[in-house]
Amino acid sequence: MIHTTVYRSNGDITAFKLTGHAQSGPYGYDLVCAGVSAVTIGSVNAVLTLCDVELEIEQGDEGGYLYVTIPDSISYEKMKQVQLLFEGMLVSLISIEAEYSNFIKIHNK
């Protein structure tokens, strides 16, 4: 199962972590894993490219782990942009969880 933890401060996303594997299908055909990976990596790439914000990113060598932190030092305007992109990511993850709750759980802290 994929566990997604979203960390917030004053309502804003400050970081998120993904751990585990969905195992909803054979390796290379796991649609839940592919969907979650596409949504999260796409969102991270969007922030890096469109917002020009250097996120702090930790990844596992063989998948199954992603931890992304938004730096405290970015401007208010950039933070608003990052929040919009990551809230959009969360909407997509919640949609995946609604359909495949045996394979992904979202936690808020």
CA distance 56 to 81: 17
Residue 64: both structure tokens together: 């199954």
| Active site (annotated) includes residue 33 | yes
Per annotation, catalytic residue among 3, 33, 51, 107: 33
Per annotation, catalytic residue among 3, 21, 51, 107: 21
| Residue closest to 40 by CA, chosen among 88, 75, 74 | 88
Rounded to 5 degrees, what angle do the CA atoms 67, 80, 77 make? 120
Residue numbers annotated as active site: 21, 33
